[in-house]
Structures are given as structure tokens and as C-alpha cells.
Amino acid sequence: MENFLLTCIESRVENNTSFYGRFQLGPFEGGQGLTIANAFRRVLLSELSGLAIVGVEIQGVTHEYSYLKGIRESILDILLNLKKIVLTSDFDCKEKQIAYLNVQGPAKIKAKDLKLPLSLQCVDPEQYIATLSHDGNLVMKLLICHGKNYSIQNNEYKNLTKKISFFEKNKIEKNLFKNLLPIDSIYMPIKKVNYIVESDDDTIELKDRIILEIWTNGSIHPRQAIHNAAKILVQLFFPFQETQPLKSLFLNTKNIKVLNYLENNTSVNFFTKKHNSLIDKKLGSLDIGNLDLSLRPYTCLKRANIHTIGDLLKYSKEELLLLKNFGKRSLEEVETNLFQIGLKLKNTNGIDITLIKNKLKKQIYNLLCIFIFYFFQFFFYYLLVENISKKKKNVFTAAQRMKSSVASPAKQ
């Protein structure tokens, strides 16, 4: 991907709430095009964030099935029209915002009549909201939130404010009445994404190129959407480059509070000991694959039936060094990984490794001496037997010669 290109083939504004763009991405290595295109499509449709109206308070209205005098539409129709309003911002506004509307009839109310915060704008100022007669009056306060995908609300006000800070909640409660009508919000700035993976005929080698089509709601340019999606993908996969799997164990649990407390507080009391034991128990049940070990110490431990961190903590340094192919470097690697999570190997009680080595040397020396002793004993026994057999053979041959010499003069 040295000559990677992002080219806009075609772009157009279909209407105020529909931008279209067709892009060519590539070239990619053969087989990579489908993977990248599918990842882009998923991120564009579900991970890009946007702004939406999530709730509204209308003066004189307690529920969405009400009617107001002097207004052509029902409250439910007004809520559906508010849902169609697309908002955008030049800044990354993640805080909840409040907009206002106060119109006296006769009037035709559109999105441009909303009094929005300075950082927000309506993509389509002509979006219709309601029509008032001469005796109609519409007073609204709208809650605007930042989010991803879509959100289905219910009638409980607390669901809109349960995940915000105390000061922000007080700020909202001062500006909103109690009768907040929730609106199903659509945060997604991308309406539709299509892609085609083609073979690139301009290259000698087999390459893929992607034709990507994007339709947005007007709050973001299609090219900017591609850049944002690429940033999200990079941020999504970047943590996997840092091989620290044990830290992720506490990310989605209450134990992260305990872990942070133990790391930042050096005082020892009953509660820290209790939390320590709970964490040690949980860590002890994990497989040693969660440690950042290289292949050599990992395979040595597995062959020795050391499968969990708890099994590993039962061994001392000396006992690990006795394992086959497990050396000092492997031991240092194991100790470093255990130290990073606040654990250590079993205490050796002052036993020196040289003492164990000397004992092993003595045992090997004794075995070797015994082997040599029996070897030479067998060898001398073998020589003795051979010598005796040779003597017997010589005596037998001498007797035969004497017999033959005595028999020859008698014949004469």
C-alpha cells in the first residue's frame, strides 16, 4: 500500500439533508479489499456520532396525546417533526444543550425559529414543525444530546439525565419543567453505505480497489466521514498493540476501584488485605497465557503442567530452574510479569541455589563412581574368565601333545 489513494469520483448535494459521495480507495493487497471495505461500512453506520433532540417540554402539555388550542398539529405530530430536525456543530459538543422556542400565532413554525446555542446549527432551516392560528401560542424547551447510533426513549425523565454529572443535572433541571416528553433520537449522520471490491487492472500484481458510496444526512461531508471512520478504526485496534491483557480484566468490573486503591494507597489495614486476597484469588485462576511471556518460558511451564498463575505461584525460583530448558532469562521474565501485577514466586526460606547445584553434582558424581566401579569389576571378571579359559586350553593341548609323543615310540 505504498501508493495508497483516496479519490473522490463523484459528489453531489441531493437536498439539504442528503449529501452523496462516491470514492475510490486502494490499491490493496489481494484479499484485503473486502476486509477493509466491510470494516469501513460497519464503522460508518454505527460508530460515527451526531446530535439529536432527545426530549421536549411544551408549556401546557403533560403527555404526547394532547392537543393545544390554536395549533393545527397534535403534540405527537410535533414530536415527529422535531425528530426530523438534523443538527450539526463545528465543535465536538458532547455536553447536553438546551434550545428554546416561543412563537405567537398566526405563524408557520420552522427549524430556523428555534433559539439554539451558539455552537449548534440546523442543517435544514426550512424543516417544518407546526402551524399556529391567530390565537395559538407555542412555548417549548428542547434537550439536545450527543451520541451514536439511535436511542429509544421512554417516559422517565431520569433516563435522560442518569449518566451526567451533578452540576450538569442541576443546570438542566433549572431550565426544564417536569413534563419532559421523550423523543426517539437518531444520532447517525450516515444514512446509507454501499461498496464494491474490484480488481485493479492498472497494476501488474493482483490488487484490490474499493468503490465506496456514502449518503449522509447533511451534518457531515462524506469525505470527512471516511476520515473519522479511519480514526475510529485505528483507535479501536491500537490497544491490542500493547500486550497487557491483565489490565483489561478489571475494566468492566467493580474491581477497578479496588485495584486503583491498592496501587495508590500504601497503608495496610483489614480492608486492603481483604481486597488483596480477592484480587489474588481472581488472578490465580487465570491462565498463564495472560502473562506477557515469550514462547520459551511459556512452553516450559505448560510442559511442566503449570497452567494457571496460581499453579505458578506454588513454585520457588529454585524449583523453576530445575525445569527442563528453563533458564535464568526465563526466570527473570516470569518474575517481571508477576511483579507488574503485584505477585511474586513462593518464598525459598533462604535456600541457596548453589547448595542445590552442589547436591546434584555430588549425586551425579556418586552415580558415576558406582558406574565406573561396576564397569571395571565386570571388566576384570571378564579378563579373569578369559585367562582361565586360555590356561585350560593350553593344558589340554599340552596333554594331547604328550599323549601323541608317548604313542609314537611304542609303535616303532
Residue-wise pLDDT tens digits, 7-36: 999 999 988 889 999 999 988 888 899 999
- 280 vs 259: CA distance, rounded Å: 11
Shared domain for 32 and 59, answered yes or no, is: no
Cis peptide before 117 (omega within 30 of 0): no
Shared domain for 262 and 371, answered yes or no, is: yes
Per-residue burial over 271-291, b if 16 or more Cβ lie within 10 Å, else e, is eeeebeeebbeebeebebebb
Residue 258 belongs to domain spanning: 243-375
Structural domain ending residue among the three candidates 226, 241, 256? 241
Structural domain ending residue among the three candidates 186, 205, 228? 186
Shared domain for 74 and 38, answered yes or no, is: no
Shared domain for 281 and 215, answered yes or no, is: no
Shared domain for 218 and 230, answered yes or no, is: yes
In a domain, 391, yes or no: no
Residue-wise pLDDT tens digits, 99-150: 999 999 899 999 999 999 988 999 999 999 999 999 889 999 999 999 988 8
So what's the pLDDT on residue 258?
A: 46
Residue-wise pLDDT tens digits, 141-190: 999 999 988 888 764 444 554 445 544 555 555 554 578 899 998 999 99
In a domain, 335, yes or no: yes
So what's the pLDDT on residue 219?
A: 92
In a domain, 410, yes or no: no
Higher pLDDT, 256 or 291: 291
Amino acid identity at 406: V
Shared domain for 195 and 150, answered yes or no, is: no
In a domain, 395, yes or no: no
Q: Please report, for the domain that includes residue 145, its CATH number.
A: 2.170.120.12
Shared domain for 257 and 370, answered yes or no, is: yes
So what's the pLDDT on residue 169?
A: 53
Lowest mean pLDDT among 46-60, 170-184, 224-238, 327-341: 170-184
Shared domain for 26 and 79, answered yes or no, is: no
In this structure, what are the phi and psi dihedrals at residue 40, rounded to the nearest 5 degrees? Answer: -60, -45
So what's the pLDDT on residue 409?
A: 58
Residue 227 has pLDDT above 90, yes or no: yes
- 228 vs 43: CA distance, rounded Å: 9
In a domain, 385, yes or no: no
In a domain, 208, yes or no: yes
Mean pLDDT, rounded, for 70-95: 90
Higher pLDDT, 386 or 77: 77
For the chain, the distance separating the N- and C-terminal CA atoms, rounded to the nearest angstrom, is: 115
- Three-class SS state of 248: helix
Domain count, the chain: 3
Q: pTM of the prediction?
A: 0.66
Mean pLDDT, rounded, for 46-59: 92
So what's the pLDDT on residue 158?
A: 46
Shared domain for 136 and 226, answered yes or no, is: no
DSSP-derived letter for residue 210 is E
Report whether 52 contacts 144 (CB < 8 A). yes
Residue-wise pLDDT tens digits, 363-402: 888 888 888 888 888 888 888 887 777 777 776 677 777 7
- 409 vs 332: CA distance, rounded Å: 94
In a domain, 140, yes or no: yes
- 280 vs 343: CA distance, rounded Å: 8
Shared domain for 324 and 342, answered yes or no, is: yes
Shared domain for 106 and 58, answered yes or no, is: yes
220 Cβ contact partners less than 8 Å away, ≥ 6 residues apart: 19, 48, 50, 88, 189, 190, 228
Shared domain for 330 and 368, answered yes or no, is: yes
So what's the pLDDT on residue 254?
A: 46
Start-end of H helices in 285-327: 295-303, 309-313, 317-321
- 2 vs 191: CA distance, rounded Å: 32
Structural domain ending residue among the three candidates 186, 213, 228? 186
In a domain, 236, yes or no: yes
Q: Please report, for the domain that includes residue 251, its CATH number.
A: 1.10.150.20
So what's the pLDDT on residue 291?
A: 85
Q: Please report, for the domain that includes residue 10, its CATH number.
A: 3.30.1360.10
So what's the pLDDT on residue 317?
A: 86
Among candidate residues 270, 267, 341, 330, the one with its CA nearest the CA of residue 295 = 330
